[in-house]
Structures are given as structure tokens and as C-alpha cells.
Amino acid sequence: MSLPTNPTSFTLADAREAVRKKEISSRELTQAFVSAIEGARTLNAFVTETPEKALAMADASDARIAKGSMGPLEGLPLAIKDLFCTKGVRTTAGSNILSNFIPPYESTVSQNLWDAGAVMLGKTNMDEFAMGSSNETSYFKPVLNPWRARNSNRNLVPGGSSGGSAASVAANLCLGATGTDTGGSIRQPAAVTGTVGLKPTYGRCSRWGIVAFASSLDQAGPMTRTVRDAAILMKAMASVDPQDSTSVDVPVPDYEATLEQGVKGLRVGIPKEYRIDGAPPEIDAMWAKGAEWLKAQGAEIVDVSLPHTKYALPAYYIVAPAEASSNLARYDGVRFGHRAKGAHDITDLYEKSRAEGFGAEVRRRILIGTYVLSAGYYDAFYSRAQKLRTLIARDFTQAFEKCDVLLTPATPGPAFAIGEKTSDPVSMYLNDVFTVTVNLAGLPGISVPAGLTPEGLPLGLQIIGKAFDEATVLRVGRSVEQAAQFAAKPEAWWRAA
């Protein structure tokens, strides 16, 4: 195997092999990423960099390697979305209200990674409480997309909410990163940064220790440069957890082992409702191309219908804010997090702390959520949204009688400019039109880079699978990846001169 000269451009799989063969130490690898992160602060991908911890973990990893006891991710540096609680390391959820919060515990998913030998580089920036599709709602300022349109200096958003993770993977600031996906927060940023993002089945990863946004929708997943890397990370992140009643005890298969099995004989469904008016022509073109690629590799293309798709966004924007309004009630300035000064009684303390602690988008969603759960409105909104959710899930069940996976675009368009959609929440919410259905149905979905727009910006294709069938989703993703031959990388314009 020929290694690239700069280890930061390794894939996770390359790096794993290099470390195993002792061609590079974890410390050398980690140092390379620590330097890359320092040189890429312009992107604002990290809320908290943890170089000392990273190097200490790398040294511990090298000691284990020397003793011959190696975990599946031994010595491999990763970035962690700042929604995962990390013991002793500040965890902000992108919010002022948690800007001083240092958890005394480690999330199950991140602990799984450290148990596998991985190294933590730091905590990545994100939309506040994972509410956003552009990383612009972060208290810690927006993340910049490493990608820019051809011949343009305009800064673009990296998508959201896992924008920091997506940008750091795209800009080679880590080998892979964790994300969370409530309505598309892994797949959408992956799509607009030319990276791979997998949201597994609801219940596949433990939610314990992940700051909750909408509990019935939140799922952790990997963000990587290749589908293989996603398979490797997914295996390490997933586990049934007695501390999370909604995690599910389904054996986690060796996703890598079946990755190259191809799509011959698989039935790939094309849901007609995902063809939307006003989408840029390159979206439909790329979608058609994706179907052709799979067909050429032996898959059968089937037309299917998901008739309740048009209700998904409205249902999502009732269910998710409802749960969020309750989940975020604990940020009251009493026990941890930001506490306003000068409050004259408890109600004043709540109001001031929360007004100062939460940004506009979070406040908006708390208001929406409080409204839809209120007496007299519950049946009209929350109950109906839950019924729609059942119908949307049934759409998928029925579609999967005719096919094994679904192929759709991941986003309705490429990365947009910073500030372009901030004044219009609805246009912002529309970014998730292809991804929220999957969360509402609890299914696995992956976004795989499939090509560039004429302006040179990445687009992704989404593959949706049956519950707990991440193996097939990854396998089809790998076939798309192979056919797409997506090799473009952004120019490193951000690097400090």
C-alpha cells in the first residue's frame, strides 16, 4: 500500500493499517491532526480543542500497541460533536447556557470509541442544541464549509447541525467524527461537505450521555471520508445500553465484512414523492445517475411510493420542538450551566438565565413546542403529528415489501452562503425535506458523496434501509461510492498563511 505523504489525508482504514503495521505511531498521527486543527481555526470547526488530552491518549495507545493489545480503533484520532458529554471536557451543545458545563461522565458512544482505542482531538462546533441546518445557530459562531464554489471566495455553510464534524472530516482535521441526527443533522452536512454520514436505526446507538434534543428522533452516527470508514466507526459506536431503555438489543454485525458484496439482485426503490418542484436540475440528474450506477452493477430499480412524505416536515416540526421544549426545561440556571446575575426571585432567575442562555432558534423551537403541547392544542397538533408519524412509518414498511433499499437525494441543493437563509426559518427547515422522514420512521440512512454541481460543490445521495439493516445500507453506499469515483477535495484556502 502506498501511503500519502501527509497522514491527515489518510482514510480511517488507511490509518488503521498504518498503525497496526507500526508504520506510524498514534502520537505521530495525532500530532499531525493537532497541527492541522491549529492551522484550520478559520473554519471554526471546533468549540474545544483538546491537544494535550489527544497526545496523552495517543501515548497510552502507543503503549498498548507496544504490548500488542490493540482495539479496533487503536490510536486513531477522532473529533466528537459537542453534544456528546465527555468526562472532564467541557460540553456545550453549542449553547451559551452550557458554555461552562464540564460533565462528570462520558457518553456511552464516546466511551465505546475510547474503549476501542480511539483518541479524542476535541469537541466540534454545532448548531445550538442540534437545532439548525447550517451551523449558524451556534453560540460559538458559524462553522465555514471547507468547500467554496469554483472561482468564488464566498463563505458557505457546512450544513448542520453536525457542521463542525462535517467540516473537520472534509478538511482532514480528523480521521472521522461523531455526529447526531434528529432530522438530518448527520446526512445533510455530510452531503454538502462531500463526506459520508450514516444515521443508524433508532436504538442502534445509546443516547445515554448525549445532550437530548428530541429524544424519540435523536441518533448518533459516524461522519467519515469513505463508506468503509463509516462501517468501521459504526461498528464501534453501536451498542445496546442498559442505561438507555430505547436502545435495542440487536447484534451489531461486522459491516466491513459485507461491504464489498455489491448490489447484484438487490431491489432499489425510487420514491416518486422525493421529486420536488423547484429543486435544482442537478439534483434530479444526480439521482437518475445514481440509479443508473446501481442498475449497471446488477440492482433492480423499482418505482415506489411514500404517499405521506409531504406531511413529514410539518409532523417533524411539531414532534421535535415538543420534545425539545421539555428536554430543555432542565437548563434553568439552578444546578449547572449559565446563571443570570441580578435575578430578584426564582421566576426572574429562570427567565433571565434562559433568555441569556438560549439563542433565537432554540427559543423559537421551545415556543413552538410549548404551544403544541398546551391544553386545547395537544390534539390538534401533537396527537395528529404522532398519527402522521405512524402513517409515514407504514409508508416505508409498505415500500420495503417491493424493495430492499431506497435511493433518494440527500439534500434539495448544495451548500448555501452564510446568512443566506437565516432570515427565513421555513426555507432553512426545507433543507431537511429528504432526511426527516427517515428519523420519523426510525430507519437507517446514509449520505454518500455522488458528484459536484456545475459550480463545483458536492452533492450527496441518500440510501435508506430497513430497520437494523445498516449492513445493506453501507453495502449500497459503497457501490454508489465506487461508481461515483468522487475524489474531489476542497482547496485548503483556510490554512494559515
Partner 1 sequence: MSKMIMGAQGEWEIVIGMEVHAQVLSVSKLFSGAATAFGAEPNAQVSFVDAGMPGMLPVINKFCVEQAVRTGLGLKAQVNRSSVFDRKNYFYPDLPSGYQISQYKNPIVGEGEVYIDLAGGETVRVGIERLHLEQDAGKSLHDQHPDQSYVDLNRSGIALMEIVTKPDMRSSEEAAAFLRKLRAIVRYLGTCDGNMDEGSMRADVNVSVRKPGGPLGTRCEIKNVNSMRFIAQAVEFEARRQVDLIESGGTVRQETRLFDSKLGETRPMRSKEEAHDYRYFPDPDLLPLELEQAWIDTIAASLPELPDEKKARFMRDLGLSAYDAGVLVTERELADYFEDLARGIDAKSAVNWLNNEILGRLNRDGRTIADCPVTAHANNTILKMIADRTISGKIAKDVLDIVWSEGGDPADVVRARGLVQMTDTSAIEKAIDAVIAANPDKVEEVKAKPKLAGWFVGQVMKQTGGKANPQVVNALLKTRLELPEEG
Residues that bind partner 1 (CB under 8 A): 84-85, 91, 93, 98, 101, 103-105, 107, 207-212, 214-216, 242-246, 322-323, 325-326, 328-330, 332, 334-336, 346-347, 350, 370, 373-375, 378, 382
Residues near 156 by beta carbon (within 8 Å), at least 6 away in sequence? 144, 145, 147, 148, 149, 192, 415, 416, 417, 418, 457
Closest to partner 1 by CB, 199 or 389 = 389
Q: Minimal distance in Å, beta carbon 245 to partner 1? A: 6
Nearest by Cα to 338 from 323, 325, 324, 351: 351
CA distance to 114, 133, 169, 366, per residue, from 456 (Å): 37, 21, 18, 38
* Residue (70 or 336) nearer to partner 1, CB: 336
Distance of alpha carbon 76 from alpha carbon 74, whole angstroms? 6
Q: How far is the CB of 215 from partner 1 (least distance, A)?
A: 4
- Is there a catalytic annotation at residue 161? yes
Q: Decide whether 15 or 211 has the Cβ nearer to partner 1.
A: 211
Considering beta carbons, is residue 212 or 476 the nearer one to partner 1? Answer: 212
Catalytic residue among 161, 206, 325, 447: 161
Element (H, E) at 15: helix 12-20
- Could you tell me the smallest distance in angstroms from the CB atom of residue 208 to partner 1? 5
Beta bridge partners of residue 217, listed in sequence order: none
CB of 101 to partner 1, least distance (A): 7
Indicate which residue of 107, 185, 353, 479 is catalytic.
Answer: 185
Please measure the distance between the N-terminal and C-terminal CA atoms of the chain and give it in whole angstroms: 32
Minimum CB distance to partner 1, residue 244 (Å) = 5
Could you tell me if 345 and 234 are in contact, meaning their C-beta atoms sit under 8 angstroms apart? no
Which of 25, 81, 107, 168 does the annotation list as catalytic? Answer: 81
- Look up 61 and say whether it is catalytic: no
Task: Give the H or E element holding residue 267.
Answer: strand 267-271
392 contact partners, CB below 8 Å, separation of at least 6? 306, 308, 309, 311, 312, 315, 437, 440, 441
Can you tell me whether residue 309 is helix, strand or coil? helix
CB 209 within 8 A of CB 104: no
Q: How far is the CB of 280 from partner 1 (least distance, A)?
A: 36
Q: Is 387 an active-site residue?
A: no
Bond before 9 cis per omega within 30 degrees: no
Q: Which is nearer to partner 1, 284 or 377 (CB)?
A: 377
Q: In the complex with partner 1, which residue's Cβ is closer, 60 or 350?
A: 350
Task: State the catalytic residues.
Answer: 81, 161, 185
